[in-house]
């Protein structure tokens, strides 16, 4: 796919529409509690300003479902954006009004206009081209820097590329695309996928795609027990998706046919129920008590995973190894995070729980790349073409 990037185009004297991801968390007073998503787009915005362009920035915030919800206004973002860029940010309380369009057309090089929440209009999520024409009415260039919504065919993501003459990806989008391409489509081998989480149903397409591409798959989390059940193991009260046991057998067979290592836990931490402060024990997978459930991988599993991770040249991780939010069931996930961080492999981590676990383990800055997205990252792992990236294909 031949995607243009922001450093491939001339923005001097141009008005640039930047689709950013400013979907930041707000507290009850309307204050931003985490500004990482704003900071992530600053390199793209500074590049445009430093090279003589003007910016119309746009984003969604929350799920207003096509209605104006004052608590989901981007006004707090305008304030923080101004602090980070060191300049005044013009803010307009609409995104397609005559005022918004005229302010966009009046921008001078070095100026920034932030539009109000795109999702105050239902047309945004319907990928309405007339809505996109109004968004892009003042723009010479469209820059997509919101990888987190690139799996959505929305007006500010996909339709707008048909109405603005020059389109490209920003620096954040560039990093996401290139790191994933390097990891999955042109990897140094062995390529190892570490996959966890609660359910097979949420990762089925991911696994079916992975067994076509990787050298080894390491499985943890609740989803492991459906595969273990498919192998005829008794797993006590552990989470099992009975309707997917047949599918799990098929995935296991595909991996075997291709000679891919498909590694399941050989021990686990069990308890009578999922809550903190109760007795736990570590048992072999073949000795899970009938009245207990597996809630984390055990030390023998970590050791088995360690041997494969240490030999890997590329690692992709999505999903925790246990219920890491509860101290008693966090060790396996954090130890795997440590192993990935200490490896010599190129390592790409994506998905909200994986990123959260990485941060809690203190390893966020010790891996090659941490994706900013959940759903978009998952769909790439499923082998899907994302509409927000396909639309940039030059």
- The verdict on 163 and 195 lying in the same domain is no
> Considering the domain boundaries, does residue 388 fall inside one?
no
d(CA 134, CA 122): 14
Which of the four pLDDT bands, split at 50, 70 and 90, describes residue 380?
confident
Residue 58 — pLDDT band, cuts 50, 70, 90?
A: very high
How many domains would you assign to the chain?
2
Average pLDDT value over all residues in the chain:
96
Residues 147 and 201 in one domain: no
Q: Which residues of 218-256 are buried (b: 16+ CB within 10 A; e: fewer)?
A: bbbbbbbbbbbbbeeeebbbbbbbeebbebbeebbeebe
Q: Do 153 and 262 lie in a common domain?
A: no
168 with 224, same domain: the answer is no
Q: Over the stretch 319-364, which tens digit does the pLDDT of each residue have?
A: 999 999 999 999 999 999 999 999 999 999 998 899 999 999 999 9
Residue 1 lies in a domain: no
Domain end point (choices 129, 146, 174): 174
Do 157 and 202 lie in one domain? The reply is no
CA 360 to each of CA 37, 282, 303, 357: distance values in angstroms, whole numbers, following the listed order? 19, 23, 21, 5
- pLDDT recorded at residue 204: 87
Is 191 in the same domain as 170? no
CB 3 within 8 Å of CB 393: yes
Helix-helix angle 171-180:36-50, to 10 degrees: 110
Q: Is the CA virtual torsion 207, 184, 172, 361 positive or negative?
A: positive
Q: Domain of 330: which CATH number? A: 3.40.50.1260
pLDDT of residue 1: 59
Q: Which residues are catalytically annotated?
A: 37, 199, 352, 375
- Asked whether residue 218 falls in the same domain as residue 143, the answer is no
Q: Are residues 170 and 207 in the same domain?
A: no
pLDDT tens figures, 3-46: 999 999 999 999 999 999 999 999 999 999 999 999 999 999 99
Domain residue limits at 67:
6-174
Backbone phi, then psi, for 267, in 5-degree steps?
A: -150, 165
Residue 8 CB burial class (10 angstroms; 0-12, 13-18, ≥19):
exposed
């Amino acid at each position: 796919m031949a995607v243009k990037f922001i450093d491939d185009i001339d923005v001097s004297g141009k008005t640039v529409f930047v689709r950013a991801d400013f979907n930041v968390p707000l507290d009850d007073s309307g204050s931003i509690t985490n500004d990482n998503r704003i900071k992530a787009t600053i390199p793209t915005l500074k590049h445009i300003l430093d090279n003589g362009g003007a910016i119309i920035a746009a984003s969604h915030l929350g799920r207003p479902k096509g209605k104006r919800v004052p608590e989901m206004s981007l006004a707090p973002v305008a304030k923080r954006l101004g602090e980070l860029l060191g300049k005044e940010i013009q803010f307009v309380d609409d995104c397609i009004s005559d005022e918004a369009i005229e302010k966009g057309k009046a921008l001078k090089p070095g100026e920034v206009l932030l539009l109000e929440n795109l999702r105050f209009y239902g047309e945004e999520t319907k990928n309405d081209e007339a809505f996109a024409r109004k968004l892009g009415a003042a723009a010479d260039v469209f820059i997509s820097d919101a990888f987190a919504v690139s799996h959505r065919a929305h007006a500010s993501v996909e339709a707008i590329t048909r109405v603005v003459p020059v389109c490209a990806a920003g620096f954040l989008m560039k990093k996401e695309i290139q790191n994933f391409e390097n990891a999955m489509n042109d990897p140094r081998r062995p390529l190892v996928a570490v996959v966890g989480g609660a359910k097979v149903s949420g990762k089925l397409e991911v696994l079916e795609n992975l067994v076509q591409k990787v050298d080894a798959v390491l499985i943890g989390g609740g989803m492991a027990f459906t595969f273990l059940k498919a192998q005829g193991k008794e797993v006590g009260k552990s989470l099992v998706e009975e309707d997917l046991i047949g599918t799990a057998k098929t995935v296991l067979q595909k991996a075997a046919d291709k000679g891919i290592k498909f590694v399941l836990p050989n021990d686990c931490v069990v308890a009578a129920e999922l809550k903190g402060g109760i007795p736990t024990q570590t048992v072999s997978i073949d000795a899970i008590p009938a009245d207990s459930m597996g809630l984390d991988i055990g030390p023998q599993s970590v050791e088995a995973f360690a041997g494969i991770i240490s030999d890997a040249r590329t690692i992709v991780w999505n999903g925790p190894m246990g219920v890491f939010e509860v101290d008693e069931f966090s060790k396996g996930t954090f130890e795997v995070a440590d192993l990935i961080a200490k490896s010599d492999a190129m390592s790409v981590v994506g998905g909200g729980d994986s990123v959260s676990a990485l941060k809690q383990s203190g390893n966020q800055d010790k891996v090659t790349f941490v994706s900013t997205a959940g759903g978009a990252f998952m769909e790439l792992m499923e082998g899907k073409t994302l509409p927000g990236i396909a639309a940039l294909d030059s």
